Amino acid sequence: ANFMVLMVTVNTITMGLATMSFIADDDAKSTFLTKLDFIFLCMFTVEFGLHFIHKLFRVFLDNGLFFDFLIVTLSWIFESVTILRSFRIARVFRLFRSLTLLKRLKSVRVVMSALLNTIPRLKSIIMLMSLNIYIFSILFTSLYKSGYDESPCDYENVSSTSLEVNISEHNWTSHMTNTVMRSCTEEIYSEDYFGSLPASSFTMFQIMTMDNYVDVARELYKIFPLSWVPFMANVFISAFVFRKFCV
């Protein structure tokens, strides 16, 4: 058991090394790691074969062994079919082999068991959080979508007209162009935070994680002074109340 844990660990490390440029750009090193990965796959196959000989079809009743069966089988499919082998997804799929460590280490199994026991509670919390995000996304899109309408200014015409005024005086021309451009875009936000329902939903999720939510609020406040009211309500509900539930 300890030997297979070591093999899975080494295999996981080699998959990480294969992504580094000094190996990926070297054909000899890349080929060596590919062959080494194939050897690991053979070892995992032999291990599952021994389990099957010992337990026969009862191995499929064991969640851990059934997971091993899926990983090994799909790995061989990606390895055998030439077309699939060239896909990046085939390389990414190999990473799932490292998940077999979850059933091999007792301490990890205890942690995973504790996490699985929290799923019923988490489902309710996730449902409430999703509903909160959806409601506020509709609200913010309805109230502030108008601020993300395209500017009526023609940027190309503005730039060319400004440049034709005095092409020899580069600094003055550049200043003139920037001034006109700013006047055209003063009603437009730097990011499309609430221009559509998907954009609003993503912004609501960003606010829930407290990631630069102040920048979003200040940008919105410049055009809609009363926007702080629903914004702070959303911050309070999503960032404080729901986070307390999770803890």
Instruction: Report, as an integer, the average pLDDT of 155-163.
Output: 40
Tokens 């006047």 found at: 183
- The predicted structure's pLDDT at residue 195: 84
Task: Band the pLDDT of 162: cuts 50, 70, 90.
Answer: very low
4-46 tens-digit pLDDT: 778 888 888 888 888 888 887 888 888 898 888 888 888 888 9
Tell which wins on pLDDT, 164 or 236. Answer: 236
Report yes or no: 136 and 208 within 8 Å, Cβ to Cβ. no
Nearest to 167 by CA among 182, 177, 179: 177
| Residues 6+ positions from 193 with CB-CB distance below 8 Å | 148, 199, 200, 203, 216, 219, 220
- The predicted structure's pLDDT at residue 181: 40
Percent helix, strand and coil across the chain, each rounded to 5? 85, 0, 15
Domains in the chain and their CATH numbers? 2-116 (1.20.120.350), 120-150+188-246 (1.10.287.70)
- The predicted structure's pLDDT at residue 175: 41
Task: Band the pLDDT of 112: cuts 50, 70, 90.
Answer: confident
Instruction: Report, as an integer, the average pLDDT of 211-233.
Output: 88
Tell which wins on pLDDT, 99 or 152. Answer: 99
pLDDT exceeds 70 at position 218: yes
With H, G, I as helix, E, B as strand and everything else as coil, classify residue 204.
Answer: helix
Q: Where are the alpha helices (DSSP H) in 56-105?
A: 63-80, 82-85, 88-93, 101-104
* From 9-13, 98-102, 231-235, the region with the lowest mean pLDDT: 98-102
- The predicted structure's pLDDT at residue 91: 61
Report yes or no: 84 and 78 within 8 Å, Cβ to Cβ. yes
